[in-house]
Structure 1
Amino acid sequence: MAEAKRGKLISVQKHLRDQVANALRAALIAGELRPGAIYSAPALATEFGVSATPVREAMLDLAREGLVEAVRNKGFRVTEMTEGDLDNYTEIRELIEVPTVGRVTEVATEEQLEALRPLAEDIVKATRDHDLIGYLEADRRFHLSLLALAGNDHLVTVVAELRNRSRLYGLTDLDRAGVLVDSAQEHLTLLDLMIAGNATAAQELMASHLGHIRTLWAAGRRSAAKRASALRLGEG
């Protein structure tokens, strides 16, 4: 009986940690947590109405994703990205993903590619529903599942790490402006080209898509910076 209670308690604690982690990701995406700013687990715990432990554990999860970094005796600093970082991440992803899409077009079956269509549709639906967490998760699953068809697990791991370190910040304003929908639709177009066996066009669209993502990164970063500036002025 005692063992069952411990198991249930661990499950509840993990669920709470996951809930806090998702709330923190949403705050990062919305630009409510400012890049470069340091946040303490106790202060965030007070805002969420929970103890500091699940917040600290959630922040450690985000640190492993590269979204924040631990600052000794202070808390966690939201990771900052420069324009140079964005360019470098985009360049590496283009070097990996563009030729891989061409290769997958040639080796994957129509059934394998069609199996990805629900994920592509989930991306579009999430943008229309203004579900930013859902949008990013569906986008991640689509891209990594597509690359997995090349049969190289290490390649997928590298791209997953790049995606973690280049998460979109400050997307709320872009979502309200409707600019995410066009990027979301590109996933369906990409699938259609690949199913048709047009590797060249699929590679060109992937390169263009990553360029669009780079633009969204920059716009989200500027939006987050503007929010941070407005908050600082309000605090003054």
Structure 2
Amino acid sequence: MEQAGPRPREATAMSAPDPATARPASAYRVPAQPGVADVDRERGIAADGTAAARRGDTGSPADAARGEHTHSEVPIPIPLPRAQGRPVVQRASVRGQILDALRAALAGGELTPGEVYSAPALGERFGVSATPVREAMQQLAIEGAVEVVPNRGFRVVRRGARELAELAEVRALLQVPVIMRLARTLPGGRWGELRPLADETARAASSGCRATYGEADRAFHRGVLGLSGNEQLLQITDDLHRRTQLPLGGGPVGASGSGGRVELMADAAEHIALLDALVAGDLEAACCLVERHFGVGG
């Protein structure tokens, strides 16, 4: 039974979606997955995937005991894969799709730094049980994006400017020497194969969406470093990249806007300029562009 007095604070507001791209909240609901009926019954979710909260229930006694409240949190407009106008989720990939959606929400600022979110409440918004959401959140905790708050849920970690600067420095220390070594040894044709990835970052930047750009940017850098054949390097730099994409702790990051779009497009332009230099075999220009892109010496 809950004690009288102030209740733990949970998120009550999130940044509004772009009106030009917003879709009805129902468009983001994931159908109930086969094989999770027992968990759904425990959480009070109907067989058609409709959350119990819509029928007036507030969750199981176990959830209440853990303090994982499912009310007073505002729905998050997070898109999921679709076919013929309906969300498409395979049972085996539910956790992965929830993880990707939460990462996008973190990068785009829909999940506010410092706020606490419960797995049951997020599960209701996705139309799934709390289990895959909790598993995804545990992975985000390992990555340093959220931290576990006992009996409440998960708090989005506040990022400081110094921490992001330190992460950027580590990325530079790892990637700049590798890229320059590859620049001296690989023919221009190999670099040309990465052109579609660079073009995709430009398209993503034009949208002004930081979450969309973050994934395109990660794919480009992964493509570049993939030429080294070092899988350990890819895993480490992937983790660093995700952590640098998280917003600062002062507040949510706008998913779009002219200022953010200009910044992203400038970053994407450096990808294209770097590829031009590498294809042409201009090592001096490539070195300058790599150092500027990673802020070396800045």
Aligned partners of 1:130, 1:68: CA distance in 2, in Å? 25
Residue 292 of structure 2 corresponds to residue 208 of structure 1: yes
Q: How does 1:210-229 map to 2 (within 5 A)?
A: 210-211=294-295
Aligned partners of 1:160, 1:202: CA distance in 2, in Å? 22
Aligned partners of 2:287, 2:237: CA distance in 1, in Å? 17
Name the counterpart of 1:185.
269
Q: How does 1:71-110 map to 2 (within 5 A)?
A: 71-110=149-188
2:148 counterpart SS class = strand
Residue 132 of structure 2 corresponds to residue 54 of structure 1: yes
> 1:77 corresponds to which letter in structure 2?
R
Query: For residues 203-223 of structure 1, what are the alpha-carbon distances to aligned partners after superposition, in whole Å with 9 as ceiling and x for unaligned?
Result: 2212211239xx9xxxxxxxx
1:119 to 197, 200, 205: 197
Aligned partners of 2:103, 2:238: CA distance in 1, in Å? 16
2:90 counterpart SS class = helix
Name the counterpart of 2:145.
67
Residue 209 of structure 2 corresponds to residue 167 of structure 1: no
Q: TM-score, normalised by structure 2?
A: 0.61
- 1:173 deviates by 5.0
Instruction: Give the share of equivalent positions with the same residue, in percent.
Output: 42
> 2:265 corresponds to which letter in structure 1?
V
> 2:284 corresponds to which letter in structure 1?
T
Unpaired segments ≥5 residues, structure 2: 1-33, 37-88
Aligned partners of 2:103, 2:258: CA distance in 1, in Å? 18
Residue 99 of structure 2 corresponds to residue 15 of structure 1: no
- 1:171 deviates by 4.5
- 1:160 deviates by 1.9
- 1:130 deviates by 4.1
**Could you say if the C-alpha distance between residues 150 and 38 of structure 1 is closer, same or farther in structure 2, counting changes exceeding 3 Å?**
same
Q: TM-score, normalised by structure 1?
A: 0.76
> 1:201 corresponds to which letter in structure 2?
A
Supply the RMSD in Å over aligned alpha carbons.
Answer: 2.7
Is the deviation greater in 101-110 or in 45-54? 45-54
Aligned partners of 2:293, 2:137: CA distance in 1, in Å? 31
1:211 counterpart SS class = coil
Aligned partners of 2:232, 2:100: CA distance in 1, in Å? 27
> 1:181 corresponds to which letter in structure 2?
M
- Of Structure 1 and Structure 2, which has the larger fraction of its residues in helix? 1
Q: How many residues align?
A: 207
Is the contact made by 2:191 and 2:279 (CA closer than 8 Å) also made in structure 1? yes
1:125 counterpart SS class = helix
Aligned partners of 1:106, 1:171: CA distance in 2, in Å? 39
2:294 counterpart SS class = helix
**Could you say if the C-alpha distance between residues 146 and 68 of structure 1 is closer, same or farther in structure 2, counting changes exceeding 3 Å?**
same
Rg bigger for which structure? 2
Aligned partners of 1:86, 1:75: CA distance in 2, in Å? 25
Query: For residues 8-30 of structure 1, what are the alpha-carbon distances to aligned partners after superposition, in whole Å with 9 as ceiling and x for unaligned?
Result: 75983333333322332232122
Query: For residues 97-155 of structure 1, what are the alpha-carbon distances to aligned partners after superposition, in whole Å with 9 as ceiling and x for unaligned?
Result: 22222111111122221111111111111122345443222211211221232343333
Name the counterpart of 2:233.
155
Structure 1 runs (4+) deviating above 6 angstroms are: none
Unpaired segments ≥5 residues, structure 1: 1-7, 216-236
Aligned partners of 2:135, 2:122: CA distance in 1, in Å? 12
